[in-house]
Amino acid sequence: MSSYALITGASKGLGKSMAEQLAKRKYNLLLVARSEKELEALSRFLSHTYNVAVTYLAIDLSLPEAAQKVYDWCNRPGFNISILINNAGYGLWGKFHEQSLESQLNMLQLNMQSLVALTYKIIPLLQQQPESYILNVSSTSAYQAVPTLSLYAASKVFVLSFTRGLRHEWKNKGITVCCLCPGPINTGFIDRAGLTSIKATAERFGMHPDEVAASAIKGMFRKKAEMIPGIINYLSAMATRIFPKVMVENIAAGLYKKATPVAPANTNT
C-alpha cells in the first residue's frame, strides 16, 4: 500500500514546496492548513501532475482542539502515514511589551503546543509502518536570541530542543526524527511578521522555498539530525558557537530594529 505524508502549513510557501517534493517521490499526501481555497487548488495540481492521492483538511491549527481533529481525520483505513512534517508556524515582530498578549500566546500555541500535540497523536500511526519520519521546522533563529523577535526565536529554540530529544528517544526504533532550521525564505513570512522595511534585503538574501524544500526532504531521507540550507545560513548558525552571545545578539538586534511594523495575521498556511 502506498505511503502518505501528513504536512501542516501546506497551502503555500515552504509547506507547499515540500508537498511537491514528496509528490515527485510518489508519496500520497494529507495536507493541512487554514486556507481551503489554496489547499483545493494545490491538491488538484499535485494529484493531476504527479498521479498521487491528495486529501486536505482546512483547519486553524492554533486552536487547542486542532490536533485531535487532525488525528480523527487521518486515522482511517488506507491512510498509511509514514511521514509527519510539522511546518505550520508564524512570527510576530516588535517589542514584547508593545505586542498584544493574546496574539503572542496564539503564536506560541501554534509554534509549540500544537506541534507537540500533533506529534503525540500521530506517533502511534507512524509506528504502524516499518520505517517512518518526523520533520519539525525550526529556524536559524533557534541558535541565538533575537530581540524584537524574542518569542518567535524562543519558540524555535523549543522546537529544536524538542526534536533533538525525540530523535534520541526513537533512535533505532523505526522513527527518524529530524529538524529543519532554515534562514530567510521568500515565502511571505516578512509581511506576516510585520517586517516590511527589510523586505528588499530579505528577498535579496532569502532562499527560494523550492530550494529549501529539496534540501529538507533529501536530508530527511538521509536521516540527518539537523539541516541548515544555504552556506551563509550554516556559517551564521555555527558562528553562534564561536562568538560571545552578547555579540551575536547585538548583531541580531541591529538587523531588525529599523523594521516598520504592520498588523500581523495569524497564519498557519
Q: Give the model's pLDDT for residue 266.
A: 37
Computed over every residue of the chain, the mean pLDDT equals 88
Instruction: Tell me the C-alpha distance between 13 and 4, whole Å.
Output: 20
- The answer to whether 92 and 193 are in contact (CB under 8 A) is yes
Is 83 or 268 the better-scoring residue by pLDDT?
Answer: 83
Is residue 225 pLDDT above 80, yes or no? yes
pLDDT tens, position by position, 155-210: 999 999 999 999 999 999 999 999 999 998 886 555 554 555 444 445 555 799 99
The backbone torsions φ and ψ at residue 54, rounded to the nearest 5 degrees and listed phi first, read -130, 125
Give 73-108 as a DSSP string.
HH-STT-EEEEEEE-------S-GGGS-HHHHHHHH
- The answer to whether 185 and 13 are in contact (CB under 8 A) is yes
CA dihedral (214, 31, 58, 39) in degrees, to 10, reads: 60
pLDDT tens, position by position, 229-261: 998 887 877 766 765 566 655 555 555 565 544
- Mean pLDDT value across residues 219-234: 94
Question: Is domain 3-256 annotated with CATH 3.40.50.720?
Answer: yes
Q: Is the pTM of this model over 0.75?
A: yes
Strands 226-227 and 175-180: parallel
Secondary structure class of 10 (helix, strand, coil): coil
- Mean pLDDT value across residues 218-226: 98
Q: In sequence order, which ranges of the chain are alpha helices (DSSP H)?
A: 13-24, 36-50, 66-74, 101-108, 115-126, 150-169, 189-193, 199-205, 209-221, 231-239, 245-256
Instruction: Tell me the C-alpha distance between 46 and 41, whole Å.
Output: 9
Q: Give the model's pLDDT for residue 236.
A: 76
Q: Give the model's pLDDT for residue 252.
A: 54
Strands of 80-86's sheet in order across: 54-58, 28-33, 3-8, 80-86, 132-137, 175-180, 226-227
Give 164-181 as a DSSP string.
HHHHHHTTTTTEEEEEE-
